[in-house]
Amino acid sequence: MAKKRSPRKQSAKLIILSLCAVLILCAAAHAVSAYPAPGVSAPADANAPSGADELCVMAIDVGQGDSILVTFGADQTMLIDAGDSSAVQAVEEELNERGITQIDVLVATHPHADHIGGMSRIIGDYEIGCIYMPDMGSDSKTYKNLMAAIERRKIPLVTAYAGETFELGGASCTIVSPGREDDKDANNESVMMLVDYIDSEFLFAGDAEEWAEERVLERGYGIDADVLKVAHHGSHTGTSEAFLKAVSPDYAVISCGKGNDYGHPHEETLKLLDEYGVDTLRTDISGDVLFLTDGHTLKTVLGD
């Protein structure tokens, strides 16, 4: 005859079994949380840059001219050149579309109308933190209008020389040309700037020609970059083989107008870029060219 269990022992066993079941369920829940279900993203790495830490670089289609919009996160903005006066509306459309009312850094690479023609209007319509310009003036009406606008708004003016650095959000900006002693012409004294964000680098070459490129190489600046804004709209006067080797870009972007009178970009430049395996993007073909990076991964968007 089987031994009859006491009610106390039966109750103790039920409690133990219940505790075991709870422990098993907790362990299972922890395992499920550690591995997200299909279609659900794993938690982001706390050290990885968030969307607010994204660097955006856009070559705005301003026809035969230059204008580069650089933004970091939601509230840090740099504008490099503003195209000709006839194209400034395209620049303002991009700024307004992004809700930009203040430009922290405005860069006038050199005093040619296709780079600074629209800048007086930009200064009148937006708050400007400071302006970087080379020590190179001009007798043109466009340049005089620009200087008058700067004076009228009392905007801090910084003479751009090689070695100057500043921060744009998490990105470091270094001017690599012109040097203090450089004395050539407006194109060769263009402001050339390297923007570095973690593992992503951009080199903006203004309208620099081979003379200026040689000076940069002589000074020994580290100009290796993922993206090269090709100098002088792709003219054969710039982007020498030695310079291209030093930059070693994955992408090149050329800002130029459709069917322009200068024949930009020149065949020699396109051929050299192709020989070095550079993916070349052009505003006359693609419209706006946008680069996005979290500092590690670089993406491109055309016609944005």
Residue 220: the pLDDT is 95
Confidence band for 208, pLDDT divided at 50, 70 and 90: very high
Tens digits of residue pLDDT in 133-144: 999 999 999 999
Residue 11: the pLDDT is 43
Give the chain's mean pLDDT: 87
CATH code of 67's domain: 3.60.15.10
Say yes or no to pLDDT of 33 above 50: no
> Which helix (H) or strand (E) is 254 found in, with range?
strand 251-254
Confidence band for 303, pLDDT divided at 50, 70 and 90: confident
Residue 74: the pLDDT is 87
112 assigned to some structural domain:
yes
Find out whether 220 and 139 touch, Cβ atoms under 8 Å: no
Residue range 202-206: mean pLDDT, rounded: 98
Between strands 165-168 and 157-159, the pairing is unpaired
Say yes or no to pLDDT of 76 above 60: yes
26 assigned to some structural domain:
no
Say yes or no to pLDDT of 228 above 70: yes
Which residues, in sequence order, are CB contacts of 99 under 8 Å at separation 6+? none
Confidence band for 107, pLDDT divided at 50, 70 and 90: very high
The structure tokens listed for 183 are 């004395």
Residue 177: the pLDDT is 98
Residue labelled with tokens 């964000």:
197
Residue range 118-134: mean pLDDT, rounded: 98
114 assigned to some structural domain:
yes
Say yes or no to pLDDT of 16 above 80: no
* C-alpha torsion 142→147→150→152, nearest 10: -100
Residue 51: the pLDDT is 57
60 assigned to some structural domain:
yes
91 assigned to some structural domain:
yes
Residue range 211-234: mean pLDDT, rounded: 97
39 against 51, higher pLDDT: 51
Residue 151 burial (CB count, 10 A): 10
Residue range 73-83: mean pLDDT, rounded: 96
Say yes or no to pLDDT of 45 above 60: no
The span from the CA of 113 to the CA of 66, in Å, is: 10
My answer on whether omega of the bond before 156 falls inside 30° of 0, hence cis, is no
Which residues, in sequence order, are CB contacts of 289 under 8 Å at separation 6+? 58, 59, 253, 281, 282, 283, 300, 301, 302
Confidence band for 115, pLDDT divided at 50, 70 and 90: very high
Residue range 76-81: mean pLDDT, rounded: 98
Say yes or no to pLDDT of 259 above 50: yes
Which residues, in sequence order, are CB contacts of 269 under 8 Å at separation 6+? 230, 234, 235, 236, 238, 239, 254
Residue 146: the pLDDT is 98
The span from the CA of 304 to the CA of 116, in Å, is: 23
The span from the CA of 194 to the CA of 191, in Å, is: 10
Closest to 282 (Cα-Cα) out of 255, 243, 249: 255
18 against 73, higher pLDDT: 73
Question: What's the number of domains the chain is made of?
Answer: 1
Q: Which domain holds residue 209?
A: 52-302
Say yes or no to pLDDT of 52 above 50: yes
In the chain, the percentage of residues whose pLDDT exceeds 70 is 83
Q: Which amino acid would we find at residue 28?
A: A
Say yes or no to pLDDT of 114 above 70: yes
97 assigned to some structural domain:
yes
Residue 304: the pLDDT is 57
Which residues, in sequence order, are CB contacts of 218 under 8 Å at separation 6+? none
